[in-house]
Chains A and B, each alone.
Chain A
Amino acid sequence: MESEQIVAKNLAESKKDLQGAFLKDSLIIFFTRVIEDLAGGGNDFYGRLRELFIVLDPYSENSREDIAEKIIKKDFEFQGGLVLDGDEKEMLRKFFKIVGEDLGFVNVIEANRSAKMFLKKLNEKYLPESSQLVDDFLLGKLISFFGGIRNLHKKPASTIQLIGAEKSLFRHMEKGTPGPKYGLIYRAVGGCGRDARRLANKLTIAIRVDYFKNLNNIAR
């Protein structure tokens, strides 16, 4: 085969594989991080929007001007990135109505409310088992901690139990102080170590069921 043909063939195959590799948990991570940022104050969301548009439209420049133009157009018919269905496109259209030209939110309260509502819808659709055990924001935080459900589903229950308690964990390992009993899932169990362990055990199985049933769309 000629070298130009080899280059073109590999590029086409890589683009096809890449499109299948993006998962819908990118949307869950996006809304979770927006809610977190809104709670922290500040109103420049170019970074978060860029994280989302790299998944939707990976071969574009994705500069400030580029993203602002895409948000105004509300088209979402991109080449090569995550394929959105009708409901998801409608969700993003409604959400981006609140984004201003400077890529900050025009109405922060409305942005917070919308992000929580869309996060709930996505969790019910793609993570039905896990969303019955913990609340939507906590589930989103657990997923975004590892950068995606593809990494999270491989972790054992003991790791999921202690996500967020790293400072205490390493202090225990280095200095011998008492070890942590829970991390982020404290929000769900209100301070009981035994409940944290049981919840982590159930949550690990639920995350794996959700991943293999709903989110794993490519055999790699």
Chain B
Amino acid sequence: MKEKWIAKTSKWKAALDVGLNVGLKGGENVLYLGASYGTTVRQIADKTKGIIFAVEKAERVCGELIKNIKPKKNIAVIFEDAHNIEKIKKRLSKTKIDVLFQDIPSLDQIGILERASEIVEKDCKILFSLKMKSISKKPVKEVLKDAQKRLKVKFKILQEASLERWHKGHWFFVLEKA
């Protein structure tokens, strides 16, 4: 029986349900930073014929990820910290990345995105899930304003929306390199 893709467990699906332009056409290669147990990665693997590079740094979680994605043939698991973007670049084997997705709830998630964007081309679509509580305990509006200001330096914000309905304190951006 095919597993259901629900917004409550997937930021990508939540962004889709909110109306953002995050769908796949069918041939994209995806670099997925923060793959976790593979809930969303498994769903995306059915939507594209390209390769999905699933990056995860935690040992126990990566073991479960490898187990969960077994039936899919187009998911390349990379056990590496997303900070080490040069090591990740080597693992891509010169594959062109069409979509960069990041869902890493850490203090320097914007810094990670900035470094990761250096290994993709200008026409790459960048999908970024921002968890505001991970950055600061300040009011959410203030954190969001600072984040938007910082993102505008290196990126062009094409679309953005709140995922509050399913994921408290999360904001989703569709970006491209400036």
Which A residues have a C-beta under 8 Å from some C-beta of B?
A: 1, 3-4, 6-7, 9-11, 13-15, 17-18, 21-22, 54-55, 58-60, 80-81, 220
Question: When the two chains form their complex, are residues B59 and A21 in contact, meaning their CB atoms are under 8 A apart?
Answer: yes
**B 82-130 contacts with A by CB, 8 A:** 91-93, 95
Would A220 and B81 be within 8 Å (CB), given that A6-B93, A10-B53, A58-B67 are in contact?
yes
Question: When the two chains form their complex, are residues A18 and B93 in contact, meaning their CB atoms are under 8 A apart?
Answer: no
Question: When the two chains form their complex, are residues A7 and B64 in contact, meaning their CB atoms are under 8 A apart?
Answer: no
A218 shortest CB reach to chain B, Å: 10
Most buried by B among A10, A21, A58, A220: A10
**Which of A7, A60, A80 interacts with B75 by CB under 8 Å?**
A7
Would A13 and B91 be within 8 Å (CB), given that A7-B51, A59-B66 are in contact?
yes
The prevalent SS among residues of A at the interface is helix
- Chain B residue nearest to A80 in the complex (CB): B63
Question: When the two chains form their complex, are residues B79 and A18 in contact, meaning their CB atoms are under 8 A apart?
Answer: yes
Most buried by A among B63, B76, B80: B63
**A-B residue pairs in contact (CB < 8 Å), sample of 15:** A6-B51, A9-B93, A10-B53, A10-B91, A11-B76, A11-B77, A15-B66, A17-B80, A18-B59, A18-B63, A21-B59, A21-B79, A55-B59, A58-B59, A81-B63
Is B78 at the interface (CB under 8 A from chain A)?
yes
Is B73 at the interface (CB under 8 A from chain A)?
yes
**Which of A10, A55, A58, A60 interacts with B78 by CB under 8 Å?**
A10
Residues on A with C-beta less than 8 A from B78 are 10, 14
Question: When the two chains form their complex, are residues B93 and A14 in contact, meaning their CB atoms are under 8 A apart?
Answer: no
Residues on B with C-beta less than 8 A from A10 are 53, 76-78, 91
Is B60 at the interface (CB under 8 A from chain A)?
yes
A63 shortest CB reach to chain B, Å: 12
Residues on A with C-beta less than 8 A from B93 are 1, 6, 9
Is B74 at the interface (CB under 8 A from chain A)?
yes
A213 shortest CB reach to chain B, Å: 21
Residues on A with C-beta less than 8 A from B163 are none
Is B62 at the interface (CB under 8 A from chain A)?
yes
Residues on A with C-beta less than 8 A from B80 are 17
Residues on B with C-beta less than 8 A from A9 are 76, 93
Residues on A with C-beta less than 8 A from B77 are 10-11, 14
- Chain A residue nearest to B70 in the complex (CB): A59
Question: When the two chains form their complex, are residues A7 and B73 in contact, meaning their CB atoms are under 8 A apart?
Answer: yes
Residues on A with C-beta less than 8 A from B95 are 3, 6
| Alpha-carbon gap, A11 to B63, bound state (A) | 11
Residues on A with C-beta less than 8 A from B63 are 18, 54, 58-59, 80-81
Would A58 and B91 be within 8 Å (CB), given that A4-B73, A7-B73, A14-B77 are in contact?
no
- Chain B residue nearest to A58 in the complex (CB): B63
| Alpha-carbon gap, A7 to B91, bound state (A) | 10
- Chain B residue nearest to A59 in the complex (CB): B67
Would A17 and B79 be within 8 Å (CB), given that A3-B74, A7-B73, A22-B59 are in contact?
yes
Residues on A with C-beta less than 8 A from B73 are 4, 7
- Chain B residue nearest to A55 in the complex (CB): B60
